[in-house]
Amino acid sequence: MAAVLTWGVCILLGAVLGPMAGRPPVSELAGLNAGYPVTQLAVAIAVAATALPYLSRPVHRLVWFLVAVAALAAVCGGEALPVNAISSIALGWGVAAGLHLAVGSPLGLPSAAEVTEWIADLHVTVADIARAPRQVWGVEQFTGRDPAGKPIELSVYGRDASDARLLAKLWRFCMYRDSGPTLILDRPQQVEHEAYLTLMAGRAGLFVPDVLAAGQFGPSRDAALVSRVPNGPALSQAGGAGLTDGTLDEILLAVLRLRAAGIAHGALGGDTIVVSHQGICLRSFRCASAWAPAGRLDTDLAAALAAMAVRAGAERTAAAAARVLDADTARRALVHLQRSALDPGTVAALKEHKDLLARLREAVASGAGIDVPSLAEVKRVSWASLLFAVGSLIGIWAIIGVLSGAGDALEIIRGASWGWVALAFVFSQLPVVAEGWALLGAAVGQLPYGRCVALETSNTFTALVGGNVAVFAVRVRFFQRQGYDAAAAVRSGAIATTASWTVKTLLFLIAIPFAAGTFQAPSSSGGRQNAVWIILAVILAAGIAVALIALVPRLRRLASRRIRPHLLNIWANVKTVAAEPRKLVYVLVGSTLAQLLLILALGASLHAVGQRASIATLVTVNTLAAIIGGAVPVPGGLGVVEAGLIAGLTSAGVPQDQAAAAVLIQRFFAAYLPPVWGWVTLVWMRRREYV
């Protein structure tokens, strides 16, 4: 079935796309098959991927090795272009995934009967094994009884569990919080990690489950952790009578003991806090970390407060916090008491209590005698908004002036090479992925990468309607929602904002010596003259502003008073981030990739209209246009950036009509289309309280 379906899809794609799949003829590449899709490869991959869940581990690995060899041989033998081979593999893999979804496939998770049979391999006796009613991602949970009748909990990591595979683990590590702070890809290491953190928490004086066994069992050598848990309900199921004021105090004291030991639980919530007659027990240390940074420790305390408030109410929880926590500890917890920084189970419980977190923050702050940490304000109308409105008129005038002398641009776009246009579209959408990586490096501690990419996607809309100032404000608010205090949020947002301009400057300085010889003096063309006048006006205005600040003492003192504190804050956070070299790599590489992808999009747009320019020329033109667009108060650089790009390209020898067409293609994909899904993403993030 997989082979037939894939073969049919290949025939359909071949009929729709044609023999060259929309690409220009490549007859000059003798002997190379540029057709798409590569039917033999796609069918073979579909059959192999469909059969993989049924194969043993050695055969599993052999099949993947043969798949890699087949793809390499197809490229080296001239049977497929690299991109065609990769996309054909994806096609076959997609058909196999659809079949698995429709027909079913082995999950690789043992049943309760199998666990009962194999548990003897771990030299423990467990009876009445049953699948736990509530399951969490990446592990199969079972319950049972020991010979004395006490409850037993088993965590089993099956070798073929889809969520425990390498790519799924990497994806979840990047996109979600509940993968844990440490990337552990090996099942025995996961069990050892959980057992070690449980034992360390017990040595710190906490009441934790007794670890009875940890190891591998069964013919598939599944990894398992067996522990004895105390009798008693989880906090999420505890009744009002069991949650006395003393019990609430005990929960906070247990978290403080864990905090004093430097251990962050990472998943504290109503299901991981057990209320027993022996005391408060903390369980499930699979997401825990030793020697945790202060931010993760504060998040644990905030998560405990939120889970307590769901069951006991905001007022009783705040009273317990006032009895147990000092003012500084309470303030640090309040910073992290945001919906997006909590355990998924607690977030789900909060859906029934819309205003609970707000009431809890106010009650805890009142009990501790401190102010509630405030978020960055969202201002809908301001003088800056009015200035941007005026700037929009300037931008519209600029783009009309530029296009007035390029009447054939639309005709050129109609005749463009659509393969290059598609490539320009792809390059134009990727910068937000790189900028999300840079944002990840701008903050101390851990952030979910997926949320960073979502933020940068939403900023495509924010930049269009509010400019760079609004983007900076939204970034600060995002960091605050993730549990950063106001100062750290401002510093992280400033680093993310300034990194882009720093990279632009460095690329410009590197490129200008190579590109200087390609530029010529502008001709008398009206559209180009308008663009040049705009550029000269911006440069003149910037020079006048710098001269006034340097020569007028009052303006100099004002600039120092407003700018110097921000620079000091940025430098303080840079020193903190520099303690983790990988963070600097994230910032620099992410910002550089974002700029290069935009430049490649402009280059692809030029190829689409039959022109080309060197990378150095494109870097120079793009940087100058970005500086001009940033200096003029125009949302998204509307019109002004286009004027700068067209003027730069025409000065580099590109005919004006082709330059205008290429710029319109690139700006449509990079500046005017992304705000559509940017607005949708912003609405989604506001609903999830990420900003």
pLDDT tens column, 386-413: 444 444 444 454 455 545 545 566 777 7
Backbone angles phi, psi at 151, to 5 degrees: -70, 140
> What six digits make up the tokens of 255?
């978290």
Fill in the amino acid letter for 170. L
- Please tell me whether residue 281 adopts helix, strand or coil conformation: strand
- Total-model pTM: 0.65
CA distance 134 to 126: 20
| Residue entry with tokens 């929602």 | 481
- Please tell me whether residue 374 adopts helix, strand or coil conformation: coil
CA distance 204 to 260: 8
Per residue in 301-327, pLDDT tens? Answer: 999 999 899 888 889 999 999 999 999
Written as one string, the DSSP assignment of 86-151 is HHHHHHHHHHHHHHHHHH-----PPPHHHHHHHGGGGT---EEEEE-SS--TTSEEEEEE-TTS-E
- Residue pair 530/402 in contact (Cβ under 8 Å)? The answer is yes
Written as one string, the DSSP assignment of 204-236 is TT-B-PEEEEEEEETTTTEEEEEEE--SS-BGG
Chain Cα centroid distance, residue 25: 39
Backbone angles phi, psi at 278, to 5 degrees: -85, -15
Give the closest residue to 31 by CA, choosing from 76, 83, 95: 76
The secondary element (H helix, E strand) that includes residue 472 is helix 449-481
pLDDT of residue 167: 62
pLDDT of residue 449: 81
pLDDT of residue 555: 65
Mean pLDDT score of the chain:
78
Helices (DSSP H) in 274-351: which residue ranges?
A: 294-312, 314-324, 327-335, 344-350
pLDDT of residue 567: 62
Bridge partners for 213 per DSSP: 226
- Residue pair 18/50 in contact (Cβ under 8 Å)? The answer is no
CA distance 39 to 19: 12
pLDDT at 273 > cutoff 70: yes
- Please tell me whether residue 153 adopts helix, strand or coil conformation: strand
Per residue in 655-690, pLDDT tens? Answer: 888 888 888 888 888 888 888 888 899 888 888 878
- Residue pair 326/256 in contact (Cβ under 8 Å)? The answer is no
Per residue in 51-93, pLDDT tens? Answer: 887 777 678 778 888 888 888 888 887 777 778 888 888 999 8
Written as one string, the DSSP assignment of 49-98 is HHHGGGS-HHHHHHHHHHHHHHHHHHHHTTSS-HHHHHHHHHHHHHHHHH
Chain Cα centroid distance, residue 577: 18
Q: What is the mean pLDDT of the segment spanning 293-308?
A: 88
CA distance 396 to 386: 16
DSSP 158: -
pLDDT of residue 286: 86
| Residue entry with tokens 């197809």 | 74
Q: Which residue has the higher pLDDT, 508 or 231?
A: 231
**pLDDT band of 595, cuts 50, 70, 90:** confident
pLDDT of residue 391: 47
CA distance 473 to 384: 13
Backbone angles phi, psi at 262, to 5 degrees: 75, 20
Residue 218, classified by CB atoms within 10 Å of its CB into exposed (0-12), middle (13-18) or buried (19+), is: middle
Share of the chain above pLDDT 90, in %: 15
CA distance 466 to 381: 10
pLDDT of residue 289: 87
Give the closest residue to 37 by CA, choosing from 3, 10, 5, 9: 10
- Please tell me whether residue 550 adopts helix, strand or coil conformation: helix
- Residue pair 24/417 in contact (Cβ under 8 Å)? The answer is yes
pLDDT of residue 558: 67
Q: How far is CA 476 from CA 103, 374, 654, in A?
A: 47, 12, 41
CA distance 232 to 226: 18
- Please tell me whether residue 18 adopts helix, strand or coil conformation: coil
CA distance 176 to 625: 37
Domains (ranges, CATH) in the chain?
2-103 (no CATH), 112-228 (3.30.200.20), 240-368 (1.10.510.10), 383-532+565-687 (no CATH)
- Residue pair 296/180 in contact (Cβ under 8 Å)? The answer is no
CA distance 526 to 401: 8
Q: Which residue has the higher pLDDT, 74 or 529?
A: 74
Give the closest residue to 258 by CA, choosing from 207, 330, 193, 325: 207
Residue 343, classified by CB atoms within 10 Å of its CB into exposed (0-12), middle (13-18) or buried (19+), is: buried
> What six digits make up the tokens of 53?
């869940």
> What six digits make up the tokens of 78?
């001239």
DSSP 580: S
Residue 228, classified by CB atoms within 10 Å of its CB into exposed (0-12), middle (13-18) or buried (19+), is: middle
pLDDT of residue 528: 46
pLDDT of residue 294: 82
Per residue in 611-668, pLDDT tens? Answer: 888 888 888 888 877 776 665 555 556 667 777 788 788 888 888 888 888 888 888 8
Backbone angles phi, psi at 677, to 5 degrees: -80, -15
Chain Cα centroid distance, residue 193: 26
CA distance 687 to 675: 18
pLDDT at 37 > cutoff 50: yes
> What six digits make up the tokens of 110?
């043992």
N residues, the chain: 691
Per residue in 198-222, pLDDT tens? Answer: 999 999 999 999 999 998 888 777 8
